[in-house]
Amino acid sequence: MSPVVITLIAVFVGTAALCAAVGFGVVARQEDPFQRLERLNRRIQTSSESTGILKKEFWEEGAAGMAEVWKRIGFGPGDIIAWFRQAELPFRAHWLPVIAGILSLSLMAVAKRLHLASFTLPIAGLTGAFLPLVYVWWRRKRIIYRFSEQLPEALELMANSLRSGNTLQSSMQLISEEFMPPISREFGIVSESINLGIPVEQTLDEMTARVPNVDLQFFVTAVSMQRQCGGDLSEVLDKISWLIRERFMIQGQVQALTGEGRLSGVVLMALPVVLFCALYVLNQDYVMLLFTDATGRKMLYGAIMMQLLGALVIRKIINIKI
């Protein structure tokens, strides 16, 4: 027999043996169809659970990161909700987006009616959307400032009431009866909460959460320390009232000294806008180069950025904390 035939037979036998071994191995490993389905189901469940865990961890890490960002900025979504509550709006907060949408569409319609340029439409829309937020900010600031003005006299009345033998709760009730809102409403809520059995410290902490005022925090701290350590609370309240009055006097002096800087900031911020509007009315083609030309757009973006930077610098200079 020739060597070629022997080689072919050996290759055939080896290939057949290999195929047989693989076949026997596959047959030996065959599972019941139900077992295979159960095993596949377990794999799918494990994979979905792992995916769910990964998604949960992803969202938790993202939420923690956003919370840290908001914390560093010093202003977060919870603060926005507190703003609406502190502003004491004459309507419910969920009507605010509706009002913003109506104002936005109205200003855009006015701009369209006056045949203004197309770039003024989004400006008018954004202005209408932000006007309700500006109103909320102004109303909240006015209410907190009014509370700050009433606080020294209220603390003096409370100190005199404590000297005459009244309790802390009755002194707060007296403030709610003798003063005007907003301080009468806040101390009335505290007095009613104490009557219902809520601890004094808890009610005062809730009041500081409703009214973000530094002087009020001094009062709450003084009451908490007096209840824990004892002491003459009426004398402490007199000193806090004197401190608040002194702070108001110094703040008035600072406002008078920084009036020129604040007026300069307003003029410097309003002058480019007024000049742009005047040039747009006098020579529209000359102003439109800022929007049609590439170099003009770069100049416009640079001017806006420098205006914002200048406003921040001026605010930092004139905003003196007392």
pLDDT, residue 31, reads: 45
pLDDT, residue 67, reads: 52
Q: Which domain holds residue 180?
A: 151-237
Nearest alpha-carbon partner for 84 in 99, 72, 70: 99
Domain endpoint, select from 237, 263, 279: 237
One domain for residues 191 and 227 = yes
pLDDT, residue 318, reads: 78
pLDDT, residue 46, reads: 57
pLDDT, residue 28, reads: 41
**Domain assignment present for 246:** no
If one counts the domains in the chain, the total is 2
Report how far residue 183's alpha carbon sits from residue 175's, in angstroms, rounded to the nearest whole number: 8
pLDDT, residue 37, reads: 53
One domain for residues 156 and 233 = yes
Domain endpoint, select from 208, 237, 266: 237
Burial class from Cβ neighbours inside 10 Å (0-12, 13-18, 19+) for residue 300 reads middle
Residues 139-160 as b/e (b if ≥16 CB within 10 A, e otherwise) read bbeebbeebbebbbbbbbbbbe
Nearest alpha-carbon partner for 216 in 176, 174, 187: 187
Global pTM exceeds 0.85 = no
One domain for residues 259 and 316 = yes
pLDDT, residue 200, reads: 86
**Domain assignment present for 136:** no
pLDDT in tens, the chain (322 residues): 555 445 545 545 455 555 554 444 444 444 454 455 566 556 555 555 555 555 555 555 555 555 555 555 445 555 666 677 777 777 777 777 888 888 888 888 888 887 776 777 888 888 888 888 888 888 888 888 899 889 999 999 999 988 888 888 888 888 988 888 888 888 998 888 888 888 888 898 888 888 888 888 888 888 888 888 877 888 888 888 898 888 888 888 888 888 887 888 888 888 888 888 888 888 888 888 888 888 888 888 888 888 888 888 888 887 777 6
Report how far residue 134's alpha carbon sits from residue 138's, in angstroms, rounded to the nearest whole number: 6
Nearest alpha-carbon partner for 136 in 78, 88, 186, 100: 88
Domain endpoint, select from 210, 237, 264: 237
One domain for residues 162 and 230 = yes
pLDDT, residue 253, reads: 84
**Domain assignment present for 128:** no
Report how far residue 247's alpha carbon sits from residue 281's, in angstroms, rounded to the nearest whole number: 48
pLDDT, residue 21, reads: 47
Structure tokens belonging to residue 191: 């007095």
pLDDT, residue 98, reads: 84
